Amino acid sequence: MVIAPDLRTVPGVIEVNSFGGENKQYQVVLDPKRLQAAGIGISDVIKALENSNANAGGGYIERNREHFVIGTEGLVKNLDDLRNVVIGATPQGVPITIATVGDAAFGPRLPGREPPATKMARARSCWA
């Protein structure tokens, strides 16, 4: 559960930092037999995942003395989005997705990384 955005709206909260606690990540589990049957390699899966979830800055447009920031945000928002990432297609044009060659699930973050938690700083009134 992400609570930092809600905490930032509390009057007097000036900063919210994440650290400690349990952290999960998306994990893709591939079936070697299904990969082989589809004629898909692991490098094809990696490339499709990178392309489907890339964030990119685009710059800004200035119009009527206003600046509009342009960019893209990764497309994967949930497990179904991840399962539906297209890796390739059959000779008949049928999409080959992550779900075709494996599955996606939430799992624990791999060792060696700090798990998240939340720390909050509040401003105190200085009025006498």
* pTM more than 0.75: no
Q: Tokens representing 110?
A: 């791999």
Q: What percent of the chain has pLDDT over 90?
A: 33
Pairing of the two strands 56-63 and 95-97: unpaired
pLDDT classification of 26: cutoffs 50, 70, 90: confident
In the block, tokens 């996606």 appear at 104
Bridge partners (DSSP) listed for residue 13? 122
Which has the minimum average pLDDT: 27-41, 50-64, 81-95? 50-64
